[in-house]
Amino acid sequence: MSMPCKSAAKENNFEANVKIQPWQDKKIVSYGPLLFCLPLDGEFAPGREYTPGFQDATYTLADSSALNLRLAPPTIFTLEDRPFDPSHPVDSLSLTGAPLDPGGNPYPVRLIPLGASILRKVTFEAP
């Protein structure tokens, strides 16, 4: 005897706010369960090869100007509205905002989920 299988689609709604939270003596930016970071440009160099196709990778920071950004009140990050692409899920989430550079000037940035980057700035100076 066979039993009919009935499939039902479910829709879940998830609402969260962008939060700037303290972490040690710095600040971090999160949205729901995700921690966001500022991706940094770098130069790739291959490292030691252990076996064909398996080797270390070395990255050298290309520009250090974003390393001293501060999240001073009232820094606000906005969730970018991008369509979801299942083949690149992390590309559908990003935050835009303008922390302050060392001179106190707004420095526009786009933050992405932590796991979507190699070189990154996760913590920001707190005033």
If you average pLDDT over residues 89-113, what whole number do you get? 92
Q: N- to C-terminal Cα distance for the chain?
A: 70
If you average pLDDT over residues 85-113, what whole number do you get? 91
Residue-number span of the structural domain to which 106 is assigned: 18-125
Give the H or E element holding residue 56.
strand 54-61
Residue pair 46/123 in contact (Cβ under 8 Å)? The answer is: no
pLDDT above 70 coverage of the chain, percent: 89
In a domain, 4, yes or no: no
Q: β-strands 109-113, 26-31: how paired?
A: unpaired
Whether residue 54 is predicted with pLDDT greater than 80 in this model: the reply is yes
CA atoms within 13 Å, Cβ hemisphere of 57? 8
Rounded to two decimals, the pTM is: 0.80
Classified as helix, coil or strand, 97 is strand
pLDDT of residue 5: 52
In a domain, 12, yes or no: no
pLDDT-derived band at 8, boundaries 50, 70, 90: low
Domain total of the chain = 1
Q: What is the mean pLDDT of the chain?
A: 88
In a domain, 8, yes or no: no
